[in-house]
């Protein structure tokens, strides 16, 4: 059986306000806020902050 994955989508709110929408089947969507640019959001997704967030939510070990 395939394990469900968290899907991340970037959302631009304003020029210097970006959010990441985290979707996980069967749970409420969550927003990661406080990102100041697309580069900052891309860095969040590619770096250790994404793994730290997944661990804090119980989605990763």
What is the helix (H) or strand (E) element at residue 18, kind and residue range? strand 17-23
pLDDT digits over 2-41, tens only? 678 999 999 999 999 999 999 999 999 999 999 999 999 9
Q: Is the pLDDT of residue 1 over 70?
A: no
| Dist. CA 27–CA 30, nearest whole Å | 9
Q: What is the pTM for the complete model shown?
A: 0.85
20 in Cβ contact with 8 (< 8 Å): yes
């Amino acid at each position: 059986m395939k394990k469900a994955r968290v899907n991340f989508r970037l959302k631009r709110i304003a020029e210097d306000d970006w959010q990441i929408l985290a979707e996980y089947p069967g749970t409420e969507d969550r927003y990661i806020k406080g990102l100041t640019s697309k580069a900052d959001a891309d860095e969040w997704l590619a770096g250790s902050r994404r793994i730290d967030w997944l661990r804090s939510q119980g989605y990763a070990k």
